[in-house]
Amino acid sequence: MAVSAAHRVRNEKLRSIRLAMNMSLTNFATAVRDAGDALGEPNTCDKRLVNKWESGAHSTCLPRYRRALQRVTSTPYIELGFADATKVAPLSPTVSSLIGTPASLDDSILILGDPNDALRYSLNRPEVPQPKAIALIAESTAYLFGLEYHRPARALMPALGQHVRDVAAMMTGTRHQPFRHRLATAGGQASLLAGWLAFDLGDMPAAHRYWDSAMACARYAADGPLFACILTYLSYSAADRGDPHTAWQLAHTAVSRVGPNPRAQAWMAVRAAQEAAKIGDSGAAIAELEEALDYGSEMASAAPEDDAEPWCRFVDRAYIWAMASNVYTHLGAVDDAHASAVRALDSLSADQVKTRAIVLAEAAHAFARIGGTERAIQCATEAADLASKLEASLAHRRLRELLPHLAVTAASQLAPRLREQPASPAN
């Protein structure tokens, strides 16, 4: 609805939200058009229209713009400063029962839009959850990491997206800095995992959007280990796009930021060793690998109740020895690769998890390099079946790389098990 100049009231709420999102008028208008397309309701928003909304020249907007604005800002229309604002559906019961209602509203609200955007926006827009709710969020985050070890990515993604929304809603509801820091860490970890699942499914743009949010949370909470984990995941991304030098730099930097936990230290050191081996820097690879083996030599089996950060609880002796085999393979040290693979299998638990598929895939490589075709096929077959069941793309990638090293007959046995699998990140 157009408003005469004499009766205009500037829409400071919408303007402050746009500025908090670091968007220009043009960028915001583009986002509104993109949101309309995604919702199946195309619109013709441009910077002039956004300016009219913010200046008060237009005090209301059409329903299709309302829905697009909610998607872009991850904010219900009632909070966008328009004269025709109406209430929307209540917040999901799992969170609404634990979060105090903001003083400016009569009812709880629904956080709409992309969960990743909602989390980033909430960092700049605090308003009062109970400590019990924050503890529940942290426990739920750790639980989702535990599920990731033995659930396919596409099965877990919906629950994780809702969890990110819940964290964002709770963060929006508190100004208490210690609470916000705890929530930022939980939200950053959840976005970290969502990014990995997207990466596992081959959706690189989504992966990097989630990791951008995780990075913002890590900086806000001054969480060095979380920051290091993000760098480690980004090293997989760099390797996937064919940039091993950047992959090594990211992984190597992560080692210096990871903190004191031995599981995290072992994982990041062996990850850096992998990338150093790929670029032919044997000195750096061996140095990083020795550090990883020092940390991993007395490591207990992975457990959900471990005091490590939830994103590294999967790391155990079997995994470290399997990655050592990977390093030696890239360095051409066939005997060391075989010995490490045997140690990995000796330490391997019977749990049907993604880590088992990765360990078996690495062992298959080591056995194939020394001519142990029968055992290589045995390991590869079990790894392929488990990787297919759990959508463990790292294992699939390593198994596809194994095919050229097998005899024609052996490769023909394995190849059908690896067909029609989603694209995966580099190992």
Per-residue pLDDT at 115 = 60
Question: Collapsing DSSP states into helix, strand and coil, what is residue 321?
Answer: helix
Which two structure tokens, joined as six digits, stand for 68? 């697009």
Per-residue pLDDT at 95 = 36
pLDDT in tens, 197-250: 998 888 999 999 999 999 999 999 999 999 999 999 999 999 988 899 999 999
- The CB density around residue 136, as the number of other CB atoms within 10 Å, is 18
Q: Mean of the pLDDT values across residues 287-300?
A: 87
Per-residue pLDDT at 179 = 87
pLDDT greater than 50 at residue 109:
no
pLDDT, the chain, mean: 82
Higher pLDDT, 55 or 106: 55
Distances 113 to 127, 293, 294 between C-alpha atoms, Å: 19, 44, 46
What totals of helices (H) and strands (E) does the chain contain, helices first? Answer: 20, 0
Nearest in space to 91 (alpha carbons), one of 110, 78, 72: 110
Higher pLDDT, 86 or 209: 209
Q: What is the per-residue burial (b if ≥16 Cβ within 10 Å, else e) of 197-207?
A: bbbbbbbbebb
Per-residue pLDDT at 79 = 78
Question: Collapsing DSSP states into helix, strand and coil, what is residue 129?
Answer: strand
- pLDDT interval class at 117 (50, 70, 90): low
Q: Rounded CA gap, 347 and 246, in Å? A: 32
- pLDDT interval class at 118 (50, 70, 90): low
Distances 87 to 76, 79, 149 between C-alpha atoms, Å: 8, 9, 40
- pLDDT interval class at 172 (50, 70, 90): confident
Per-residue pLDDT at 20 = 72
Which two structure tokens, joined as six digits, stand for 168? 């964002």
pLDDT greater than 80 at residue 119:
no
Instruction: Report the range out of 59-68, 264-273, 375-384 with the highest average pLDDT.
Output: 264-273
- pLDDT interval class at 111 (50, 70, 90): very low
The domains of the chain, with CATH numbers, are 1-88 (1.10.260), 90-222 (no CATH), 319-427 (1.25.40)
